[in-house]
Structure 1
Amino acid sequence: MTTLPTDPITSLDADFAPMALQVGESMLAVPGLSIREKMFTWITSDVCDGNLGLPFETHLKVLTTAGGASWQTVREVLRHLAPYAGYPAVVRAFVRLAEIEAAHPEVKGVDLPAPEAWEPPAYPEGADAGLAAFATDQAGQRWGRPYLTPRERALICVAADVVQQTLGTPFRTHVEAARRAGVEGEELRWLLRMMAELSVGRSIEAMERLDAYLKGGTS
């Protein structure tokens, strides 16, 4: 069973540590998602929220050990996140990643090839055709690249929407992409349940939107 490092958290606060570790272990036990997918979700939250200290380093450690990911895979996660978390946020994450990677050159992992033909999400025009075209172009530059599967890219985007509470058109578009990539509705619910570790309120808001969408309403 995958576990989280205990010493760094325990040294911060003896009473808080068991709370945090219990929640973290519970989230790691959530079914329906791989360790790799769970760590992508937490890294997405770290980048979107600017938590690039101990949380970011801890999640990278689990991803590159239990999740079997290479540093190239981690860099691809950041590249993919740029339009969704914001380019400045991703630049800061790359700076921090360089420090962590330099300290752990021993990390090896699996690099996935580019997927077979995959149609990236197209964003509806909504209030502005130019903005929709930009968003669609940004997706087109990323979703066919190697290192991540379409399923993983879709889950990362859904996670970014939950963190940033972009639960209208972006969330709906990314949920649709996830479904096309083979993600079941219950797997999306498990994703949101797992993200309660990051914020109960955000997860509740996102779950309400997801349930409305899956039942045929609007998200």
Structure 2
Amino acid sequence: MTSETLVKALDAPFAEMNGATAHRMWEEITELSMREKVLLSVVADVCQQTLGLPFELHVAAAARLGVSADDLRELLRFISYDSGYPAALAALARLVEIEREQGLPKPSGEGHELDIDGQGSPMPAPTRQAVLNLDAPFAGYMELQSRMRAGMRRLSVRERAFATMTVDVLFQTLEESFRVHVARAIASGATPEEVRAVVRFSAQFGMTKTWRALRVLNALFTETGTVFA
């Protein structure tokens, strides 16, 4: 049974609305790859804890697009510090259930090197110092989170930046962290148009949140002199 048929069985008018929305997001936003879109959809499911039918459909779509079980686990591990560990844990438990129910390939068990007992972090120095000035123990917590993710390689820097931007839009954390994550996306080679597309893609998960995020993004681009091609 297709996703369209599943939704139509619940409510035909809603299915039509959902289909039109999906076309606008998944077909007309050409700046992002389909892999990027499905990863961002999973991020939204974690943040909003939509772990029923939406998460099932996104996990199935990820499998069709060649996103492996290991990739999905790295995504959940990566965003757990922003989404919250309990939210990511709930998604991980549900992911295991969905994989079993749908007969999807299991993960290899391959992880990444964790630097738990080290010092410092790969955080940008200005960000690190700003947080240190705010609260030293909290800065230590952020350093730990940053170190534990430094060895991740399954997701590209671009994908990780887009994921954290989506968390910012959905949680409306559009100040310090949004600025850092947008800068990381640009530094990874993403164009301003692609960065805007990430924010625009989040409209299906909450249009008014995207509205405000676009206003903040435009102001940030104006401030930094970022121009569109």
Is the shorter-chain TM-score for this pair beyond 0.5, marking a shared fold?
yes
Contact 1:143 1:150 in 2 (8 A): no
Q: Aligned partners of 1:120 and 1:155: how far apart in 2?
A: 18
**Cα RMSD after superposing both structures:** 2.3
Q: Aligned partners of 1:157 and 1:144: how far apart in 2?
A: 17
Residue 141 (structure 1) aligned with residue 182 (structure 2)? no
1:154 matched residue in structure 2:
161
Contact 1:120 1:144 in 2 (8 A): no
After superposition, the C-alpha distances for 1:4-29 in whole angstroms (9 at most, x for unaligned) are 72111111111111001110121001
Query: Does the C-alpha gap of structure 1 residues 57 and 106 become closer, same or farther in structure 2, counting only changes over 3 Å?
Result: closer
1:40 matched residue in structure 2:
39
Of 11, 14, 28, the match for 2:12: 14
2:181 matched residue in structure 1:
174
Q: Aligned partners of 1:153 and 1:195: how far apart in 2?
A: 15
- 5+ residue gaps, structure 1, are none
After superposition, the C-alpha distances for 1:145-169 in whole angstroms (9 at most, x for unaligned) are 1211111111100001101111111
Contact 1:143 1:153 in 2 (8 A): no
1:202 matched residue in structure 2:
209
Contact 2:99 2:106 in 1 (8 A): no
What are the within-5 Å matches in structure 2 for residues 1-219 of structure 1? Answer: 5-29=3-27, 30-65=29-64, 67-107=65-105, 120-122=122-124, 123-124=127-128, 125-126=130-131, 127-216=134-223
TM-score normalized with structure 1 length: 0.87
Query: Does the C-alpha gap of structure 1 residues 136 and 169 become closer, same or farther in structure 2, counting only changes over 3 Å?
Result: farther
- 5+ residue gaps, structure 2, are 113-120, 225-229
After superposition, the C-alpha distances for 1:105-132 in whole angstroms (9 at most, x for unaligned) are 44489xxx98xxxx94433424324323
Percent of aligned positions with the same letter in both sequences?
34
Query: Does the C-alpha gap of structure 1 residues 28 and 121 become closer, same or farther in structure 2, counting only changes over 3 Å?
Result: farther
Q: Aligned partners of 1:182 and 1:64: how far apart in 2?
A: 26
Q: Whose Rg is larger?
A: 2
Matched pairs, number: 208
